[in-house]
Every structure is written in structure tokens, then in C-alpha cells.
């Protein structure tokens, strides 16, 4: 066939897979950040930028879950309206993702289990790849089979910070950031298994989504451990406390 058969709107209204997947990812996010708060590693006394960053990203989770609910229950008009908000919200997420990362690096306070220079490159690259997946999903909004799968993959691509708060990151060595991000592959893997069971094939949207999840790992390593990465780190930290921090060294664990 010249084009793929789209899922019918009647079936879409009865299919709760996308909402259940969105809810599962929201639970992972809430569990990860709640655990940090419960263990005393996070505090509401953090500087305003941290709170703004948290508000923007947590609100995205709410938008994403609501969109999935409307899509799964046939509320197409509400889904479209939230989609317009989501497009604008993605721009705010890019801004805050860059801003908080640069702020942490300039302060010289990157988590001790990350190399600061890698952290500086990897986080912005990750949020940009997320934005690319969102843009692709919006472009394919008339193709529900593509649209919803790409949306789920976009959300899965930014689960790294949540998984990182659930995993024993200090024990994962130099690949801690990569491993946390790779955990997000569980989401498209479930979707692929569902496709195989229901349709006997894997929808190509999943492969593009997986590429969007894996790309930040490769790009970040290529840039961070290169002369370009050295130059970016030197430029960002110049005149700040972070300039005294070796960008490719791991800081010692905090003392109790």
C-alpha cells in the first residue's frame, strides 16, 4: 500500500494504551523526585531558578497526561487546544533546560557522579532532541498512528532525570547519565511489543522515537570529549567558580 492505514477514530476513542503509558511515565517522574525530597536531598529552600525549572517541567508532565487522556477518550478538540499550548511550552522547556544546566556548571555544583563538561553538553542536547520529537509529532498530527507514538517517545526521552533519582547513580560509573537515559527505552519497547501482538509488525514511528532517545548519548559524547567541548566549557565557566573545576573529572562524593 502507498500509505499506512491510520487508526480509526472509533478505535482511538476506546484505546487507553496511550493514556496508561503517559500515566506510567508521570508516576516514574513523581516517584523519582518525591524520593529525593523524602530522603532530604531536595529542598524547597532552593534558589528561584530551580523552582521555575521544576514548575515548567512538571507542568509539561501534566499537559502530556491530559493530552493523552483527551486523545484516548475521543476529546479531539481539547486535545488540539492542549497541543497548541504544548508547542509553546516546549520552547520554555528548552530555555529552562539550557539555563539551569549553565547555572549549575557556572556555580561548579554539577552532581559528583557526572563529569561537568559532559553534563553541560548532554543536558541541552537531550532537551533539543526532545523538542525535535515533539516537532515531528506535531507535523504528523493528522496521522494519529505516528503522532501518538512520537509523543510517547518524546516523553520517554526526558525521563533520564527521573530514573536518575531512582537508580544508584554513584555506582554506575562514567556511564551513569547514559544508563538513566537508556531506561526510557522501556516505554517504546512496550509499544513495540504491543504492535507485534496486535498487528504483527512494529510501527516505524517507534524506530524514529528510539533514535531520538539514543541520539543525545552519541552527540554528547562526540562533543563533550573533544576540543569543541573543551572550548564550550571554558567559555561557559569563564569568570565563574566553575572555571576552577576540571570539566572532565568527577568531584569527590559529599561528606556526611
Per-10-residue mean pLDDT of the chain, 256 residues long, equals 38 71 95 79 77 93 91 77 86 96 96 96 97 94 91 96 92 93 96 95 96 97 97 98 95 77
**Among candidate residues 134, 126, 128, the one with its CA nearest the CA of residue 220:** 126
**The pLDDT of residue 241:** 96
Largest interatomic CA distance in the chain: 64
Cβ(67)–Cβ(23) under 8 Å?
no
**The pLDDT of residue 77:** 77
**The pLDDT of residue 8:** 39
**What is d(CA 167, CA 72) in angstroms, rounded to the nearest whole number?**
31
**The pLDDT of residue 253:** 85
**The pLDDT of residue 16:** 87
* DSSP string for residues in 157-176: HT-HHHHHTTS-GGGSGGGH
Amino acid at each position: 500500500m502507498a500509505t499506512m492505514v491510520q487508526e480509526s477514530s472509533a478505535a482511538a476513542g476506546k484505546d487507553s494504551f496511550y493514556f496508561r503509558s503517559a500515566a506510567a511515565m508521570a508516576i516514574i517522574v513523581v516517584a523519582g523526585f518525591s524520593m529525593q525530597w523524602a530522603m532530604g536531598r531536595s529542598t524547597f529552600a532552593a534558589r528561584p531558578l530551580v523552582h521555575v525549572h521544576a514548575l515548567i517541567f512538571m507542568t509539561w508532565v501534566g499537559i502530556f497526561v491530559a493530552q493523552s487522556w483527551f486523545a484516548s477518550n475521543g476529546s479531539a478538540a481539547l486535545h488540539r487546544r492542549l497541543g497548541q499550548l504544548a508547542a509553546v511550552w516546549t520552547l520554555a522547556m528548552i530555555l529552562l533546560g539550557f539555563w539551569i544546566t549553565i547555572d549549575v556548571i557556572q556555580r561548579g555544583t554539577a552532581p559528583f557522579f557526572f563529569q561537568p563538561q559532559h553534563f553541560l553538553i548532554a543536558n541541552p542536547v537531550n532537551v533539543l532532541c526532545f523538542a525535535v520529537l515533539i516537532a515531528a509529532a506535531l507535523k504528523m498530527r493528522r496521522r494519529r498512528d505516528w503522532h501518538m507514538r512520537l509523543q510517547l517517545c518524546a516523553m520517554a526521552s526526558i525521563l533520564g532525570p527521573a530514573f536518575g533519582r531512582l537508580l544508584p547513580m554513584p555506582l554506575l560509573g562514567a556511564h551513569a547519565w547514559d544508563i538513566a537515559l537508556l531506561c526510557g527505552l522501556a516505554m517504546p519497547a512496550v509499544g513495540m511489543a504491543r504492535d507485534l501482538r496486535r498487528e504483527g509488525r512494529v510501527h516505524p514511528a517507534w524506530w524514529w522515537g528510539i533514535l531520538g532517545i539514543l541520539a543525545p548519548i552519541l552527540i554528547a559524547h562526540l562533543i563533550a570529549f573533544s576540543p569543541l567541548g573543551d572550548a564550550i566549557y571554558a567559555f561557559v565557566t569563564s569568570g565563574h567558580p566553575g572555571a576552577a573545576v576540571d570539566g572532565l573529572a568527577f568531584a569527590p562524593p559529599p561528606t556526611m
